[in-house]
Amino acid sequence: MLRAIFLAALAALVASPASADATGLKRLDTGDDSRGWEAVGRLNIDGKGFCTGALIAPNLVLTAAHCLYSSSTKQRIDHAQIEFLAGWRNGRASAYRMVRRAVVHPDYDFSSNVTADRVRNDVALLELHHPIRNTTIIPFATDARPAKGDEIGVVSYALDRAEAPSLQEVCGVLARQQGVLVTSCNVDFGSSGAPIFSFRNGTPRIVSVVSAKAEVEGLPVSLGTQLETPLALLRAELAAGGGVFQHEGPNVNRITVGQIRRDTGAKFIKN
């Protein structure tokens, strides 16, 4: 019922005149194309799938919480099996790092249906074994979430663009519903965890993380998380010594539509 109410509310908001036109994707294949975006990278997960993540400090990668769960075993993935490939494109990365610790939002519930609670708390913070100190890989700052009607952008990997990231420099905030950012940004499997940027004063700052791809009233949209409060909680948990992998995971009933060979990646929901 909550899921139905949530999607119905999204449908009403997306159908409103605030809808923004989205531009096409630009594949970042060359060094010139990808300059300034090297802190976005691919997260290779246990050799079975991938998500997108972004550096927000030399040793911290921001991504989606559900990337740390396996859809086949229904358990937390050992983050020691996750590798961050900064600036990955066409078989090479600007830096390679394994993950030392990982924390997810304390209120994130992998076992729940797709509700506003699940999406807005779908945030994880990964601590790398060794910081990335490279003058060409500059961590991104974060910012307050944008308002309805604001222009945003996203850099992500996806099922059909796994070997190089793609930039959508202009997409729009369609709505903010129960803490969830509803956008017109183009995402697909693998885009989970991708940074959503604002470009206030011409500088890209991360304002949200891609949680899911949805279809509402026949219109494709993407759903983004909250960031400011969750990020503060995750930083505090790491500072307190949290993030050590627990071998037992919860039994869950993950709701998805469609099939995919990978164990992780952006989820589809339909109204």
Domains along the chain with CATH numbers: 2-270 (2.40.10.10)
Assess whether pLDDT exceeds 60 at residue 154. yes
> CB of 174 within 8 A of CB of 148?
yes
pTM: 0.85
Q: Parallel, antiparallel, or unpaired for β 205-216 and 267-270?
A: parallel
Top-confidence range, 177-181, 250-254, 260-264: 177-181
CA-nearest of 96, 114, 128 to 269 is 114
> CB of 89 within 8 A of CB of 28?
yes
> CB of 267 within 8 A of CB of 212?
yes
State how far the Cα of 166 lies from the Cα of 154, in Å rounded to an integer: 8
Q: What is the mean pLDDT of residues 211-224?
A: 89
What is the pLDDT at residue 40? 98
Residue 251 confidence class, pLDDT cut points 50, 70, 90: very low
